[in-house]
Every structure is written in structure tokens, then in C-alpha cells.
Amino acid sequence: LLPLSEQSRGVLAGRHAMRSLLMAGFLLVAVGIVAAQPPGRWLLGATGRGTARWTEDGAGLTYRGGAAYGWAVLPATALRDGFVQVRFKPIAGREDQAGGVVWRWRDADNYYVARANALEDNVVAYKVVAGRRTALAPVGTPAGTYGVKTKVASGAWHTLRVDFSGSEFTVVCDGQRLFSVRDDTFAEAGKVGIWSKADSVTEFERPQHGDKS
């Protein structure tokens, strides 16, 4: 047998690498490597720079950094008034250890989000408009107030819930009602899902949701 040329060895190495990635549940795309997306189960993506890295763990997902803001929404949902709730566990991250929920999601750059951060020990609600995130001050506080301080332990499970009706949204963390905010930027029905940020490594169970009834 003739020895393989350098080019042939490179082709074989590439095939082996591709096979390993596919066995691990990954897809190669032009912009890099992203976790394989189960059809119909999740719609995955990012707001801002980077590529969100999500891995599926049973019925839930784990966010593993990679994007300014990463989201995973349930494509079959369309809620105007209702609730979204998720159990999450912040595991690691030097810049952030965040877990959140989104509602009235229109597209990658337009939605509402509330998140808890284990590095900041706070919970904050935002609107994202044309890709720009703006904090919503809790009702009854001065303009510019940045959410509410509360203990968010790293390595522990937490439950974050938002009830939304009309222009008023109520944020509950670990069974404690923290605050409400008011905003009418997105008045129509949209998708719900989960959210994380920057270098966070955060585990999520599948979110619960329902309409107002």
C-alpha cells in the first residue's frame, strides 16, 4: 500500500472529527459549531454578538455561554396574558451566572425578559427593543431603579416566574413576590421561553406556561 499523502491524511482527519461531533450531538455550520436543535421542540438563538451554546439534557437545556444574550423559546407558544415559570441552577461564570424567562417574544431582538443573577444577587426585568436591553424600574420606585436585591445562590435550584397581563408584569422568585413593572412596548401575543447571558453556565428545566384564566 502506498503511504497517504498529506492531503489525504487531512481529509481522513476531517472525516473523523466530523463523525465525533455528530456522535456528540453537534452540527457544523458556516459560522461555527452550535448545539443540534431538536426539530419543533425549541427555537434557539442569540441577541447581539456571539453564538449561544445550548445542550439538551432530557427535557431541559443547559446554556454554556458564547453569546451576549442567549435565548431558547417554545415555538408553538403564543401568549398575550398568562405566565411563564422555570426552575434553573446557575453553575458557573466569571462575568455572569444568570437564568431568566422571556415572554411576548417576537424575534431575536424584540421581547421581554426577567432574570436572576447569582453574581449580583438580584432580579431584574427588561425590555429588549431592536436588540437593545433596557431595565424596567419596579412600580413605586424611582426611575432608573435596577430591579430588586435578593439572594440567588450559585449551585442551587431556583424558580423564577413572571405573570403578565396587559401592561403589568409581576416577578416572583423562589415563591416570593419581588416586584411588578409596567410597560406597553409589546402588547401582542408572543412566544415564551428561557434566557441567559455572557459566560453563564446555567441549567434549566423545561419551562411551564399558561394563559390567563
Q: What CATH number does the domain containing 207 carry?
A: 2.60.120.560
Q: Domain span at residue 56?
A: 34-211
In the 3-class helix/strand/coil scheme, how is the chain assigned residue by residue?
CCCCCHHHHHHHHHHHHHHHHHHCCEEEECCEEEECCCCCCCEEEEEEEECCCEEEECCEEEEECCEEEEEEECCCCCECCEEEEEEEEEEECCCCCEEEEEEEEEECCEEEEEEEECCCCEEEEEEEECCEEEECCCCCCCCCCCCEECCCCCCCCEEEEEEEECCEEEEEECCEEEEEEECCCCCCCEEEEEEEEECCEEEECCCEEEECC
In the predicted model, what is the mean pLDDT of residues 18-26? 40
Residue 116, domain member (yes or no): yes
Mean pLDDT of the chain: 86
Q: How many domains does the chain have?
A: 1
Is 28 part of any domain?
no
Taking residues 29-55, what's their average pLDDT? Answer: 69
- Give yes or no for residue 210 having a pLDDT over 90: yes
Model pLDDT, residue 40 = 55
Is pLDDT of 10 > 50?
Answer: no
Global pTM?
0.81
The pLDDT of residue 159:
99
Segment 45-66 shows an average pLDDT of 94
